[in-house]
Chains A and B, each alone.
Chain A
Amino acid sequence: MDPVRTFHDLLYGLAVAASPENLMVAVVGLLLGTAIGVLPGLGGTNGVALLLPLTFHLKPTAAIILLASVYWGAIFGGAITSILFRIPGEPWSVATMFDGYPLAKQGKPGVALTAAFTSSFIGAFVAIVLFTFFAPPLAELALKFGPPENFAVLLLAFATIAGLESGDPVKAVLMTFLGLLLATVGFDIVSGSPRMTFGSVALQSGVNFVIIAIGVFGLGEILLTVEEALRIEGLRARLSFRDVWETWKMFPRYVWTIIRSTLLGFWIGVLPGTGATPASFMSYGIARQFSPRGSRFGTGEVEGVVAPETAAHAAGVGALLPMVTLGIPGSPTAAVMLAGFFIWGLNPGPLLFQENREFVWGLIGSMYLANVIGVLIVLTLVPAFAAIVRIPFAILAPLITILCSIGAYAVNNQVLDLWIMLGSGLAGYLFKKLGYPLAPLVVALVLGDMTEQAFRQSLIMGQGSPAIFFTRPIAAFFLAAAIAVFLLPFARNVVRRARGGAVPAEAPGAAGS
């Protein structure tokens, strides 16, 4: 693609997006999206689906700008509840919780929020630049990723986050097994039949990762707080814009983490069949391996917020790429947007770039503007968001519980999920009390399903022979990388032992798929 021509198109797109009418649409969309992202279980997919009817009265360009802004807003908003209450607003903000919530608990919610918003912005912004200049060739490359490649990438994701917990390794293994096991519950698309459902039709929708995360982290935390009888008067948090500035001063330190996470997230997002959630976990895991302060991850490291947020939002941009260039939705949200294309009388697919220049470049232009406006909006609101933790616990706790219930119900529109949420809340509390780590559970749960599906699809394609993983170069490359990363902690231990140092307890973590 000719870069000069692209640059021209981009200026044109920015001009389209910056018309007063479209700007207003973007601001409205961003505010709405942030609100949707804050509510657990209610994600960008819902927001986009719900707003679709409204877009009838708008021009296609304004309509896609509205939907895209909702999408960006939801991405920003997802981090807020993760950090403040340990409740993931969106699936990909679970990894943000690991360090974001401890920061908030230490009285620094402003720092955590600023770090999250700023790195979202950077990740998304760089990804949009990549999108602008390299969209068509990247989409072509993504098509080369079939089930065997997806399997290898997912295995790599497992390898990078193995040993996420430094506690009892046996318990970490147990929780990994539990997560993988729960991931198998539901309707198995490969065999076309239900499994592990104990005869329940409602369980055929599977044990949803968001519901479990809401339960074990969110409700579990409420129960722990109640037990300790702490914080009945709310948290004392420092609230000022100084947090923003002071957090920003830390950012140059994380430049490599940011670059790595952006590239990783963007690429994982472009791949159909993976998405932002594995990207966020992988990025967190890799940052933990590389960072000099890696051993302090999980106790409130700013870098532990930066890595997953950057990757998740770069992935959010990446997921739109196959939709625009190929008409293939990279995420459920993109799939709903695709339905919108029909409503507006557009033909999604490879010809869209040529046939609807205003639309495509307006969309790309709006991604730039919406991100800039979005980060300004959420940053000005940091003190307000942080102030939420000052609300007395006796009001906050029931409020959170109700929001969690609505969110859990919204996932599949069934009441059983509320029971699952309550059950996992109680289980989460007991796990935490008795020293069972929770991170391996949710990581295994979110990746297990996709990994097994890709594995079985690959074997079907290879007619039962695992050779398919080694004869396809891309798959073989990622598989080798996964094995290398997997062995890294063991290799380090061996080296340390040879030097006579103490061997830290390292969890073998997620073995196999």
Chain B
Amino acid sequence: MRQAALGFAGLLVVAGIVFMREAARLPTGWTASGPGPGFFPFWLATGFTLAGLAVLVRTWSSNHGQGEPFLPGGAWKRILVVFLPMVGVVAFLHYLGIYLGGLLYLLGYTRLVGRHPWPLVLAVSVGVPLALFLVFERWFLMPMPKGLVLESLLYGR
């Protein structure tokens, strides 16, 4: 737990420095008509970095959480099982789109994690994306990323 807290605070400090560098590319001074566009970003990033350092020092000097595991046993796997498929759906959005991607995600999760019976799994994982498709594409006319697969199924080409 302590290592994780230290590592995370360290990460925040690094992020703060990256922000500072990005802000420094803009005029960070105080011009005749008020602060330049980089003024607030730069000093906010500086404040963020200093706060991060303060957290780092305080975590270092306390023994809080020493020896405790960061995650309870087995939690690792459960979290990755939820999170990685999410990342996958977004990563393959260009090909699968939100509807087919959603279908696969629902199918996999309800079956593999939820262990629900197949009829329910199929009803949910086909029904939900279909309903969403009708709502957004047909009814509200809000185009969502459909993905190359669905587009070619729908419109040819």
Binding site for B on A (CB under 8 A): 42, 46, 50, 168, 170-171, 173-174, 177-178, 180-181, 184, 188, 190-191, 193, 195-196, 198, 219, 222-223, 226-229, 232, 392-395, 397-399, 401-402, 405-406, 409-410, 413, 415, 418-419, 422, 425-426, 429-430, 433-434, 452, 455-456, 458-460, 463-464, 513
Contact = CB atoms under 8 A, between A and B. Distances in A.
B10 to A, nearest CB: 12
A226 B82 contact: yes
Most buried by A among B26, B31, B141: B26
B52 A174 contact: yes
A177 B47 contact: yes
A399 B48 contact: no
Contacts of A463: 32-33
B137 to A, nearest CB: 11
A181 B41 contact: yes
A104 B109 CA distance: 24
Contact of B34 (A173, A222, A410, A459): A459
Contacts of B140: 46, 50
SS of B interface (majority): helix
Interface in B1-47: 4-5, 8, 12, 19, 22-23, 26, 31-38, 40-41, 44-45, 47
Contact of A50 (B19, B71, B141, B145): B141
Given A196-B22, A229-B78, A184 B41 contact: yes
Interface of B: 4-5, 8, 12, 19, 22-23, 26, 31-38, 40-41, 44-45, 47-48, 51-52, 54-55, 58, 70-72, 74-75, 78-79, 81-83, 86-87, 89-90, 93, 98, 102, 105-106, 109-110, 113-116, 120, 124, 128-129, 132, 136, 140-145
A180 B40 contact: yes
8 residue pairs, one from A and one from B, having the closest CB atoms = A394-B114, A459-B34, A174-B51, A177-B48, A191-B37, A398-B109, A402-B102, A227-B75
A184 B4 CA distance: 29
B35 A459 contact: yes
Given A170-B55, A395-B116, A459-B34, A227 B144 contact: no
B116 A394 contact: yes
B109 A174 contact: no
B105 A401 contact: yes
Contacts of B79: 223, 226-227, 429
B8 A173 contact: no
Nearest to A511: B47
A398 B51 CA distance: 36
B41 A196 contact: yes
Given A196-B19, A227-B71, A406-B136, 19 more contacts: A170-B55, A171-B55, A174-B48, A177-B51, A178-B48, A181-B48, A184-B23, A195-B26, A196-B41, A228-B72, A229-B74, A229-B78, A394-B109, A395-B114, A397-B109, A422-B83, A456-B35, A458-B34, A459-B35
Given A401-B105, A402-B132, A460 B34 contact: yes
B8 A180 contact: no
B51 to A, nearest CB: 4
Contacts of B132: 402, 406
B55 A174 contact: yes
Nearest to B106: A398
Contacts of B102: 398, 402, 405
Nearest to A175: B51
Nearest to A466: B34
B44 A418 contact: no
A226 B105 CA distance: 16
